[in-house]
């Protein structure tokens, strides 16, 4: 997962608003920049005469003047972004890295938003107005329509125009950051003590010291039990029950991250020191965090009249695809005949009826034939600590076809750190700082789960360094949306065994089916997230308990529509298990869109013919920078974002 950045960095990625209803001035010109400045100008900024004088003084008169201003603003914003990012990283370090237990003061400091006053300050000193005047904002529809005719500099000017489209007070920005930080803290320590789980007969089937973070590690442990390991099916059933208890909030609150109690998840009974005790359920804590996020966005909505909901800002502003467009894309896939065909294939391979947790079936990966304990023994030996993984990065990149010098350059601009949570990639935003790879590393070294996550985050980091340090214009640094960086992460992650020396991994039938089944799983999860936020906006006064009940109903409905016909077990709430719903609202749709982009890139890159050509073409694609998703995809592969290529490929596979 790519960790989302503070609000000041999102200004470069979110075109949220271009109007303010309280404007006291009028624009005496049809010029786009003048009109947008007038829409943002307030009484405290000056009179009509002041506005007219400002426009006369600061509007660039020649292309040369405009370009000179563009370069100066780009340099200034890069300096600010870099310094604020470093402050955020430094203050958040105790809460996100595995470096001792953080105290309450650490969480307070981590919630501080170094950029909270950035927008206020830039409007107060008129820099924001100067930017808007000379580099106006274009809507998503306009970018998609006009973008194919733009050159690189015109795209950079347009992205500069996305920077100041709203005037959010510092207090609102700070509140958004604080609430998100609290949700992150809740998620990052939500560990299940697997060695203290009991069957109904009182047996322990997991290692005594196993502690798994929800949902990531629980899911990955479930997936690892598709290999030939002891008690595999029984372990999967128990993990599924644990997930159900978490989603319904029937889980006893005291067993979370606490080895003092034994817990039998099927009967929901608990013991301490061999004596049965009664513990209170979590109740609605999980859903209170979602509700808290919603209330902060309600306040933010007031300042974004052009995109007045978090839903619109997330899809049209950040993902740069409408939520209806995304929903239609997902439903086309979920209702395809290919889903049923692949489900039947999995049923045949397993030799049993499918269960809800088979949405995480892992049998299409070659690693499923390799016991995880063998892989863990190897990864722990190779990577006893974060530095060992960092030292091996140049070799891994050369394995993928990167030239020696470029492999070293990329590795030199990435820092590896042990994570308190599941792990994430924190990007570099200025060309004087490294990207950061964070993954969980145990006392005995990096286990296979941590390694697999690390390779995923490594892909993020390679993208982050490539399209920042090798970009032509700073406002174009990055990718069109989070899905595009997820695609790069997936490209790396599916080659994790190749990087361990198990042979070259290519896009064969199994790899295609694996991506297909991952899409199937995460699209339903994403729809639950999307529908939850639609429900919140339709029920603005809901309580946490009402939200909990609504999410369970939504999850069960999505399950019954698109999953029960394939996997059975009606009314499963499993699709609501993802922790992203708590701390990063509506982040989840980036994953299936990322899978779609990933597959299209795999098909395109398969034509390269050599490892060196693969790496060169991959870098060419990501050096395009932050175009709109459809423009970026056209430049990458010559086609738009679509599920049709993988549906066609699966039809060929199952028809053989």
What are 493-524's pLDDT values in tens digits? 999 999 999 888 778 899 899 999 999 999 99
At 495 the three-state DSSP class reads: coil
Tokens at 435, concatenated: 């990207």
Among the listed residues 370, 655, 624, the one whose alpha carbon sits nearest the alpha carbon of residue 473: 624
Q: Rounded CA gap, 539 and 347, in Å?
A: 40
* C-alpha R_g of the chain: 25
Q: Rounded CA gap, 70 and 280, in Å?
A: 59
Amino acid 212: pLDDT: 96
Which residues have CB under 8 Å from 93's CB, separation 6+?
A: 99
Long-range Cβ contacts of 291-294 (<8 Å, 24+ apart) = 291/536, 291/542, 291/543, 291/544, 291/547, 292/179, 292/182, 292/183, 293/179, 293/180, 293/183, 293/582, 293/583, 293/585, 294/533, 294/536, 294/585
- Any alpha helices (H) in 116-196, and if so which ranges? 118-124, 127-134, 140-146, 152-160, 170-188
Tokens at 428, concatenated: 């570099």
Amino acid 5: pLDDT: 44
Question: What average pLDDT does the chain have?
Answer: 92
8 Å CB contact between 142 and 175: no
In this predicted structure, which of 215-229, 268-282, 286-300, 547-561 has the lowest mean pLDDT? 215-229
Which residues have CB under 8 Å from 272's CB, separation 6+?
A: 260, 261, 262
Amino acid 236: pLDDT: 98
Q: Rounded CA gap, 328 and 589, in Å?
A: 12
- pLDDT of residue 100 exceeding 90: no
8 Å CB contact between 326 and 316: no
- pLDDT of residue 532 exceeding 90: yes
Among the listed residues 621, 592, 358, the one whose alpha carbon sits nearest the alpha carbon of residue 490: 592
**Backbone phi, psi, residue 126, to 5°:** 75, 5
Residue 414's CB is within 10 A of a number of other CB atoms, namely 22
- pLDDT of residue 109 exceeding 70: yes
Amino acid 14: pLDDT: 37
Amino acid 15: pLDDT: 38
- pLDDT of residue 59 exceeding 70: yes
Confidence of residue 228 (pLDDT cuts 50, 70, 90): confident
Average pLDDT over residues 430-448: 93
8 Å CB contact between 555 and 606: no
Residue 382's CB is within 10 A of a number of other CB atoms, namely 15
Tokens at 359, concatenated: 């949405």
8 Å CB contact between 631 and 479: no
Confidence of residue 2 (pLDDT cuts 50, 70, 90): low
Q: Which residue has the tokens 């609605």?
A: 284
Residue scoring higher pLDDT (421 or 516)? 516
Average pLDDT over residues 332-348: 97
- pLDDT of residue 479 exceeding 80: yes
Amino acid 21: pLDDT: 36
Tokens at 176, concatenated: 């958004």
Which residues have CB under 8 Å from 538's CB, separation 6+?
A: none
Q: Which residue has the tokens 């989603």?
A: 247
Q: Is 102 left (phi over 0), alpha (psi -120 to 50) or beta?
A: beta
8 Å CB contact between 323 and 311: yes
């Amino acid at each position: 997962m790519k960790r989302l950045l503070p609000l000041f960095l999102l200004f470069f990625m979110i075109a949220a608003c271009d109007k303010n209803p309280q404007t006291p001035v009028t624009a005496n010109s049809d010029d786009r920049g003048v009109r947008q400045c007038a829409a943002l100008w307030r009484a405290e900024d000056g009179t009509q005469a002041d506005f007219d004088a400002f426009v006369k003084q600061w509007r660039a008169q020649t292309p040369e003047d405009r370009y000179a201003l563009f370069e100066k603003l780009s340099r200034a914003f890069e300096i600010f972004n870099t310094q604020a990012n470093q402050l955020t990283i430094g203050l958040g370090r105790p809460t996100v890295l595995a470096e001792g237990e953080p105290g309450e003061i650490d969480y307070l400091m981590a919630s501080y938003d170094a950029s909270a006053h950035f927008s206020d300050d830039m409007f107060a000193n008129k820099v924001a107005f100067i930017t808007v005047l000379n580099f106006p904002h274009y809507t998503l529809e306009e970018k998609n329509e006009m973008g194919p005719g733009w050159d690189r500099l015109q795209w950079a000017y347009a992205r500069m125009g996305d920077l100041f489209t709203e005037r959010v007070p510092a207090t609102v920005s700070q509140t958004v950051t604080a609430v998100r930080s609290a949700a992150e803290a809740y998620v990052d320590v939500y560990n299940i003590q697997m060695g203290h789980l009991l069957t109904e007969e009182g047996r322990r089937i997991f290692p005594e010291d196993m502690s798994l973070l929800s949902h990531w590690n629980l899911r990955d442990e479930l997936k690892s039990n598709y290999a030939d390991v002891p008690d595999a099916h029984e372990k999967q059933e128990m993990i599924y029950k644990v997930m159900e208890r978490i989603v319904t909030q029937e889980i006893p609150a005291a067993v979370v991250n606490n080895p003092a109690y034994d817990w039998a998840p099927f009967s929901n009974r608990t013991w301490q020191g061999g004596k049965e005790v009664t513990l209170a359920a979590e109740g609605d804590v999980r859903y209170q965090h979602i509700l808290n996020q919603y209330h902060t966005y309600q306040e933010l909505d007031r300042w974004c009249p052009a995109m007045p909901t978090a839903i619109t800002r997330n899809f049209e502003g950040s993902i740069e695809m409408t939520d209806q467009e995304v929903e239609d894309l997902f439903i086309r896939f979920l209702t395809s005949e290919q889903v049923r065909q692949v489900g039947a294939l999995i049923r045949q391979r397993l030799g049993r009826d499918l269960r809800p947790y088979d949405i995480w079936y892992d049998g299409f990966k070659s690693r499923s034939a390799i016991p995880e304990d063998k892989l863990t023994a190897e990864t722990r030996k190779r990577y006893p600590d974060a530095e060992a993984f960092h030292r091996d990065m140049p070799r891994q990149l050369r394995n993928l076809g990167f030239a020696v010098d470029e492999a070293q350059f990329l590795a030199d601009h990435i820092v590896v750190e042990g994570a308190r949570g599941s792990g994430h990639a924190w990007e570099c935003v200025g060309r004087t700082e490294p990207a950061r790879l964070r993954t969980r590393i145990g006392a005995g070294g990096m286990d296979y789960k941590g390694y697999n996550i690390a390779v995923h985050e490594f892909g993020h980091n390679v993208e982050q360094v490539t399209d920042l340090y090798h970009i032509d214009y700073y406002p174009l640094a990055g990718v069109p949306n989070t899905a595009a960086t997820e695609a790069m992460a997936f490209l790396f992650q599916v080659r994790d065994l190749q990087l361990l020396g198990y042979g070259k991994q290519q896009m064969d039938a199994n790899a295609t089916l694996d991506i297909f089944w991952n899409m199937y799983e995460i699209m339903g999860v994403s729809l639950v997230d999307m529908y939850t936020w639609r429900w919140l906006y339709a029920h603005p006064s809901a309580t946490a308990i009402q939200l909990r009940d609504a999410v369970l109903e939504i999850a069960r409905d999505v399950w019954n529509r698109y999953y029960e016909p394939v996997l059975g077990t009606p009314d499963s709430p499993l699709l609501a298990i993802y922790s992203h719903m708590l701390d990063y609202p509506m982040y989840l749709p980036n994953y299936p869109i990322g899978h779609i982009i990933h597959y299209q890139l795999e098909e395109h890159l398969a034509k390269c013919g050599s490892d060196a050509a693969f790496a060169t073409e991959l870098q060419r694609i990501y050096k395009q920078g932050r175009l709109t998703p459809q423009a970026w995809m056209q430049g990458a592969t010559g086609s738009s974002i679509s599920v049709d290529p993988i549906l066609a490929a699966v039809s060929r596979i199952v028809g053989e």
